[in-house]
């Protein structure tokens, strides 16, 4: 089991006052709150910060933690010393109703499981009138644009509170297969009924699971709501003369009819080629980018000069020159 340096986690000195600890915690909690932080490790950091604060804000727990001595390094292999005061392990507190924080093995071996359900929540808008229903779980699921375009099946792992009977509760990873419906978009939530935590009472209903959709970056496309965007490089002659070009879409290549006299920056629409759900239609927008071939040989240079003669043209006329 790895030793956790709670002072380091909160970035405070070992002799920091309760006020200093609280201030450090508040600042870090705001910074790494999963709803605020876009940091990849934000959620993990937030849990660590809460765990550290859970110990350091409580005078008795802090004393017990400090009693191991100041020479421990974070990550060092740790066993509680013989005779370690067992009374801390009785647990009996609970963590947030909205964002359950799981604590590390290190924490639980010292202070017991922090997941007791008995104490009612103060200052919470949660659970009122729903005491028998298990807690709702919230998580994010990252999917590719293709997963949304075609629909998909994903397996996710959730840390769930499991009632082992006899009053023992533990947190265990559980796999769950999730069907991603066609046409879900970023920020939307899918609600999986009864896949939250089990109810406190035996006959209590399970809570629900809310999964928020996050799109993984795509090498070719960007996405805005239901619409897919692609920048399409074309040649000057395709732009001038028009052409039929095979354009990649999420559903495979489709022929795009490029009209003559096309220009860089023009946007063409491929109707219905975006993220479509049962009732909503997304399009793909293709932004043209004319790429100009380099004139390397004498012959090629000659050709450009002939173009200049044959097609006198001032793209800067709008700039007063």
Partner 1 sequence: MTEKYSITVLDEDMTWGFSEICTICRVDHELVFEMVNEGVLTPEGPSPETWRFNAVAIKRIQVTCRLQHDLGVNLPGAALALDLLEELEELRSRLRQMT
* Binding residues for partner 1, total number by CB under 8 A: 49
Which of these ranges, 85-93, 117-125, 163-171, 297-305, lies near partner 1 under the rule CB under 8 A?
A: 117-125
Which of these ranges, 3-11, 83-91, 97-105, 313-321, lies near partner 1 under the rule CB under 8 A?
A: 97-105
CB of 253 to partner 1, least distance (A): 23
Q: Is the separation of the CB atoms in 188 and 180 below 8 Å?
A: no
CA atoms within 13 A on the CB side of 231: 8
Q: Under the criterion CB under 8 A, does residue 39 sit at the interface with partner 1?
A: no
Number of H helices, E strands in the chain: 8, 11
Q: Under the criterion CB under 8 A, does residue 285 sit at the interface with partner 1?
A: no
Q: Is the separation of the CB atoms in 95 and 171 below 8 Å?
A: no
Which DSSP letter does residue 77 get? B
d(C-alpha 218, C-alpha 222), whole Å:
7
CA atoms within 13 A on the CB side of 241: 7
Q: Which of 99, 144, 235, 283 binds partner 1 (CB under 8 A)?
A: 99
CB of 124 to partner 1, least distance (A): 6
Q: Under the criterion CB under 8 A, does residue 277 sit at the interface with partner 1?
A: yes
Q: Which of 5, 16, 33, 264 binds partner 1 (CB under 8 A)?
A: 33
| Residue number, 112 or 183, with CB nearest to partner 1 | 183
d(C-alpha 101, C-alpha 93), whole Å:
12
| Residue number, 37 or 235, with CB nearest to partner 1 | 37
| Beta bridge partners of residue 83, listed in sequence order | none
CB of 31 to partner 1, least distance (A): 10
């Amino acid at each position: 089991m790895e030793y956790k340096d709670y002072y380091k986690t909160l970035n405070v000195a070992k002799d920091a006052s309760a006020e200093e600890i609280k201030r450090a915690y508040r600042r870090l909690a705001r910074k790494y709150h999963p709803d605020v932080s876009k940091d990849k490790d934000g959620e993990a950091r937030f849990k660590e910060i809460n765990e550290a604060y859970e110990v350091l804000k409580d005078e008795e727990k802090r004393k017990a933690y400090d009693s191991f001595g100041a020479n421990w390094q974070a990550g060092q292999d740790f066993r509680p010393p013989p005779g370690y005061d067992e009374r801390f392990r009785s647990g009996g507190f609970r963590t947030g109703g909205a964002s359950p924080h799981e604590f590390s093995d290190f924490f639980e071996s010292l202070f017991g499981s922090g997941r007791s359900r008995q104490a009612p929540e103060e200052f919470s808008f949660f659970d009122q009138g729903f005491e028998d229903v298990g807690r709702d779980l919230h998580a994010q699921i990252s999917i590719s644009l293709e997963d949304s375009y075609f629909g998909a099946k994903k397996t996710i792992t959730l840390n769930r509170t499991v009632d082992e009977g006899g009053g023992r509760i533990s947190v265990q990873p559980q796999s769950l297969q999730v069907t991603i419906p066609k046409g879900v978009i970023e920020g939307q939530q899918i609600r999986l009924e009864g896949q939250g935590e089990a109810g406190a009472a035996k006959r209590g209903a399970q809570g629900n699971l809310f999964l928020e959709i996050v799109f993984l970056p795509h090498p070719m496309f960007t996405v805005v709501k239901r619409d897919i965007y692609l920048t399409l490089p074309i040649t000057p002659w395709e732009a001038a003369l028009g052409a039929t070009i095979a354009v990649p879409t999420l559903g495979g290549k489709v022929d795009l009819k490029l009209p003559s006299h096309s220009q860089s920056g023009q946007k063409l629409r491929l109707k219905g080629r975006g993220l479509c759900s049962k009732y909503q239609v997304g399009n793909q927008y293709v932004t043209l980018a004319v790429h100009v071939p380099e004139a390397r040989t004498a012959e090629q240079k000659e050709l450009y000069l002939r173009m200049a003669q044959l097609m006198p043209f001032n793209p800067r006329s709008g700039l007063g020159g």
